[in-house]
């Protein structure tokens, strides 16, 4: 018995096919899951979970402080709002982490250009909060510098990586001019803390990019001149530094934060049992680390600090076998930005640094700032993605430094 002939469709015939988009999407997700640094992702999610708990602890203090005779905020007002912002932030983080490297770089450069334009408009159309004009209203209040920071780190890495193409290109001068413009705009707001953070990221990247060693001393001397000039001619910096070095009063924000931080001892007073947090200004944002100390204890504070350290060290460990300068610089800049902001916030709460009005990344409550921090982590996850089956030569920083000295 013969089998029926095989039907071969002609050009004009239509053959039902399975839709390819779901299969392609599943394939992309499998590739993403294989290449993503799951350890880094797990550390970030653990930090966000601790942040959710911390905002729940701090929410009653800020809700009571901001309630008026006309409107009383419920105790968990900021907690539920934080959950919503975290959900949006997670979508941004995961979506950004799925971008191919080239698309990630372009997205960061475009974001940097748009946010720099908005930063130029802040003195004109921005609105004030607590005496500082840093925000622009775009449906919600947006602080352009928050989104500019991660985009700036990637853009700066791209500019400095030009040095491999032609060592004679003045990449240090170009990047320094860009940083100078941003710092000048931030000082007008005023926002000294963010200005210091931008300068710090720039210093880290120019050193990694092979800045001649003879110029390092000049940079640190310039930084010292900047700080002295800020103290002498910038009232906001002068007031904060004088308050830090002067005799503390029971109503100083930094002193209140330090006494709240140590008020719970090693194990804390217990969740929602803290009393000193009720006097803290911005308990859910700038001083949330102190709330963690009072209610959950200094041991949990140490755990939070170790999580930040682990995230930064994981990024640098991931770069040990990287052979592309742009990726090394971009990941290092984003890690320095993330870790530097956390370091400054923790030092303020420990009364070891003047108050800067800077939040604790992924832990403090925030609207657009939470989205910006998740965007930072998304870029970091995207730039550290690796095909586990490809081997790489190690990046030779010594060779790059020798090139810098020769130029």
For 392, phi then psi, to 5°, come to -130, 150
Q: Tell me the pLDDT of the chain averaged across its residues.
A: 81
User: Average pLDDT, stretch 154-181?
Assistant: 85
- The confidence score (pLDDT) of residue 219 equals 63
Q: What is the mean pLDDT of residues 145-173?
A: 87
* Contact of 117 with 107, CB cutoff 8 Å: no
∠ CA(331), CA(29), CA(108), 5° rounding?
35
Greater pLDDT, 202 or 11: 202
For the record, the structure tokens of 375 come out as 């965007």
Report the distance separating Cα 59 and Cα 271, nearest Å. Answer: 12
- pLDDT score recorded for residue 238: 61
Chain centroid to Cα 263, Å, comes to 29
Q: Specify the pLDDT at position 252.
A: 63
Is the predicted pLDDT of residue 370 greater than 80, yes or no?
yes
Mean pLDDT for 367-386 is 92
Can you tell me the mean pLDDT for 41-62?
A: 93
So what's the pLDDT on residue 30? 85
> What does the pLDDT read at residue 102?
92
Q: What pLDDT is stored for residue 407 in this prediction?
A: 44
Q: Are 295 and 274 in contact (CB under 8 A)?
A: yes
User: Among 215-224, 311-320, 370-379, whose mean pLDDT is lowest?
Assistant: 215-224
Strands in 140-142's sheet, in edge-to-edge order, are: 127-129, 132-138, 140-142
pLDDT band at 110 (very low <50, low <70, confident <90, very high): very high
Q: Which helix (H) or strand (E) holds 65?
A: helix 38-66
- How many Å apart are CA 330 and CA 332, to the nearest integer? 6
Residue 223: which pLDDT band, with cuts at 50, 70 and 90? low
Quick one: pLDDT band at residue 250, thresholds 50, 70, 90? very low
pLDDT number for residue 109: 94
**358 neighbors 341 (Cβ within 8 angstroms):** yes
Q: Is the pLDDT of residue 251 over 50?
A: no
> Which one has a higher pLDDT value, 183 or 390?
183
Percentage above 90 pLDDT, the chain: 37
In this predicted structure, the answer to whether residue 76 has a pLDDT above a threshold of 60 is: yes
Residue 189, pLDDT score: 80
Q: What is the pTM of this model?
A: 0.83
36, HSE (Cβ side, Cα atoms, 13 Å):
24
Model confidence over 272-285: pLDDT tens digits?
Answer: 888 888 888 888 88
CA pair distance 124, 127, nearest whole angstrom: 9
Which of 124, 134, 224 minimizes the C-alpha distance to 186? 134
| Better-predicted residue by pLDDT, 277 or 83 | 83
What's the pLDDT band for 5 if we cut at 50, 70, 90? low
């Amino acid at each position: 018995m013969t089998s029926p002939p095989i039907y071969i469709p002609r050009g004009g015939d239509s053959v039902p096919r399975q839709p390819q988009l779901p299969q392609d999407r599943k394939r992309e997700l499998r590739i993403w899951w294989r290449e993503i640094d799951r350890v880094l992702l797990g550390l970030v999610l653990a930090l966000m979970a601790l942040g959710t708990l911390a905002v729940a602890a701090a929410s009653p203090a800020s809700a009571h402080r901001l309630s008026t005779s006309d409107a009383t905020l419920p105790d968990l007002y900021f907690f539920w709002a934080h959950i919503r912002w975290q959900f949006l932030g997670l979508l941004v983080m995961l979506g950004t982490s799925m971008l191919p490297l080239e698309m990630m770089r372009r997205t960061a450069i475009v974001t940097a250009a748009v946010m720099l334009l908005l930063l130029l408009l802040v003195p004109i159309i921005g609105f004030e909060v607590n005496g500082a004009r840093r925000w622009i209203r775009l449906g919600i209040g947006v602080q352009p510098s928050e989104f500019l920071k991660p985009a700036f780190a990637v853009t700066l890495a791209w500019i400095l990586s030009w040095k491999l193409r032609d060592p004679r290109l003045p990449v240090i001068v170009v990047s320094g001019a860009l940083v100078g413009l941003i710092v000048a705009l931030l000082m007008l707001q005023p926002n000294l803390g963010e200005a210091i953070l931008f300068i710090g990221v720039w210093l880290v990247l120019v050193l990694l990019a092979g800045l001649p060693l003879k110029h390092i001393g000049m940079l640190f001397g310039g930084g010292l001149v900047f700080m002295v000039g800020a103290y002498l001619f910038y009232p906001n910096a002068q007031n904060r530094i004088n308050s830090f070095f002067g005799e503390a009063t029971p109503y100083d924000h930094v002193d209140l934060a330090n006494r709240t931080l140590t008020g719970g001892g090693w194990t804390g007073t217990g969740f929602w049992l803290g009393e000193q947090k009720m006097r803290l200004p911005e308990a859910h944002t700038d001083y949330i680390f102190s709330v963690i100390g009072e209610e959950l204890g200094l041991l949990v504070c140490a755990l939070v600090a170790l999580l930040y350290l682990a995230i930064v060290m994981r990024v640098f460990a991931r770069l040990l076998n990287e052979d592309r300068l742009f990726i090394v610089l971009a990941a290092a800049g984003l890690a320095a930005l993330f870790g530097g902001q956390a370091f400054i916030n923790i030092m303020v709460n420990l009364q070891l640094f003047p108050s800067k009005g800077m939040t604790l990344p992924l832990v403090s409550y925030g609207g657009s700032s939470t989205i910006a921090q998740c965007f930072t982590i998304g870029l970091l996850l995207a730039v550290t993605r690796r095909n586990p089956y490809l081997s790489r030569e190690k990046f030779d920083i010594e060779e790059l430094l020798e090139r810098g000295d020769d130029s």
